[in-house]
Amino acid sequence: MKLSNPDNLLKTITFFLLTLMLSACEGEINTNENAFGDVPSPISNDADNNDDYFHATILTKEVLRTDSLSGEDMVDYFVVYMGNQVYKTYTIDLINLSGEGNADIELMSEYSNRLSWSDNEGAEPDTIKYWRGYTKSEGEIVYIRVINRSGTDISYSLEVN
Amino acid sequence: MQVIMKGICFSILFVLVSNQAVSQNGNYTSITFKKSVWSGSSYVGDLSDWVHFHDGNATVVEYRAPESSFSFSAAIREAEDGSNELESLVGATEIGGAYLKIETGGADGQIYNDDPFEPVLMPETQKFTTQLDIVALGTQWKNDTGIKYGMAWVHLKQPAEIDLTYYSIFPSSGGGAFAPSFAHSAIDPEFSTHIIGAWADVDSLNSFMKGQSTIYSSPTISGNFLRGLALDVEIVAGLYFSDPGADLETAIKEKYGLDYEYVDSSGLAWTVSYKLAYNLVYRSQEELAFGIQIGLEGRALQTLFEIPEDKTVARRDQVIGKIGIGDNDSYQWGPYLRLAMVY
């Protein structure tokens, strides 16, 4: 059978592909209980640090929380428990920004995907209205990132309703 | 804009290369109205959960000079919002017995997850641009059979899902109900797959218009009319290798504080584009024919077999990313209506 004949070439390709479809395999990546080194430890409500996803401060709904940012503390993380199957519109307010500083807020899923954001200029308050509807995955917690845009010292208040 | 500039350069190059090759007789020209293959409802498979295109319609203008195998096709896509973009540009010619075909195209899309709490890491930016490029070099099989074969390179840039594997035991103390979770996979919006392999092209319509059969068409002739089904197929099968587009290393470091490592994927893959159509042709003279074609066109790309490379997470702050078989498969389709003339 000459492969230079396109008819034979097509038959060969078809046979080859069908064979491969039945025997498809792939490499495997394994987890490892004996891996060395340290792993970032998720400790929520760490009193000394809420600078990343793993150390977010627990924010209670309808309670005003005051915190601050600086040139060295550029982002604060907060975590909010929305409850099981509580479908409603949540309002997140960033208010009482001090001085000439500029800070913005982002709402993140528990897998750190951005759901919504507000980025008003200067010390103007930021508000996110987020409708939590039914989703197959039924996530119950969300994260809020407060980001220092001006790099200056800023105090602020944050509230979720 | 980049696609349009590329299209203009491509057109000039092709006109220059093919200028001497165009035949004066047996030329074929057509205009096609079709639903764009880069439409939300025409994009199926695993990726359709995240990939969104505007529904759109495309108008395709095509010209062929069969005796010299010169052909040129341009598709302009009009999206629902009224915006226009160059969806694809195809040029082909025969020089010294060698047949060369170059195709480029793509579309802008958006990527988002309707279920934001799914354990999938989505890209920060929601816009992406798909890209499909094909360069084929081959030869005709006999004369007027409509069959060509040879070698080809295919490049498809589109979203893909990358599986993430972590150290097996993460500490949960202190987290409780508020412990952060890790995504099972990440979406790379512009992941590239390259295929280099054997190429075969069966062009039934052109042969049909001239009353000739191919292996995928056999016209029924009654008087001056020809009718029947015809299938145009272009297949490339061979080796593939992958090329990530997103900077997941930075994203995962920022989000999770972990070091990301990507494991290259290579193996065997294939891609097929097809046009299945019912044709009705009227031939008034030997050199003059009018045809209407109603059909379905589409394409698919599948990775089939990967050269296995097993790997184990070595450090606790390491995450390994790897694309699995089928995680960037693409299936697209759309109906079309074509009016054609041979003169």
pLDDT digits (tens, 9 = 90+) for B171-206: 544 455 666 678 889 999 889 999 999 999 887 776
Across the interface, whether the CB atoms of B167 and A35 are under 8 A apart is answered yes
B278 CB within 8 Å of a chain A CB? no
Across the interface, whether the CB atoms of B117 and A56 are under 8 A apart is answered no
Which residues from B are below 8 Å from A42, CB to CB? 170-172, 174-175, 179-180
- Nearest residue on chain A to B166, alpha-carbon basis: A31
B142 CB within 8 Å of a chain A CB? no
Q: What is the pLDDT of residue B181?
A: 76
The pLDDT mean for chain A works out to 83
For the segment B257-300, what is each residue's pLDDT rounded down to a tens digit?
889 999 988 988 999 999 898 989 888 866 788 889 899 998 88
Residues 208-227 of B with CB under 8 A from A: 215
Across the interface, whether the CB atoms of A9 and B149 are under 8 A apart is answered yes
> Which DSSP letter does residue A48 get?
T
Which ipTM was obtained for this model? 0.72
A83 CB within 8 Å of a chain B CB? no
Nearest to B167 among A17, A31, A140 (CB): A31
- Nearest residue on chain B to A83, alpha-carbon basis: B177
Instruction: Residue B111: name the closest of B91, B132, B129 by CA.
Output: B129
Across the interface, whether the CB atoms of A44 and B198 are under 8 A apart is answered no
Across the interface, whether the CB atoms of B171 and A54 are under 8 A apart is answered no
B151 CB within 8 Å of a chain A CB? no
Three-state secondary structure readout of B189-244: EEEEEEEEEEEEEECHHHHHHCCCCECCECCEEECCEEEEEEEEEEEEEEEEEEEC
Residue B332, CA distances (Å) to B43, B112, B217, B297, B329 in order: 5, 19, 23, 8, 10
For the segment A9-65, what is each residue's pLDDT rounded down to a tens digit?
777 777 666 666 555 566 788 877 777 777 666 666 666 688 888 788 889 899 999
A89 CB within 8 Å of a chain B CB? no
Residue ranges of domains in chain A, CATH in brackets: 38-160 (2.60.120.380)
Across the interface, whether the CB atoms of A43 and B174 are under 8 A apart is answered yes
Q: Number of A:B CB contacts under 8 A?
A: 185
A94: tokens are 């960033």
Mean pLDDT along residues B33-58: 80
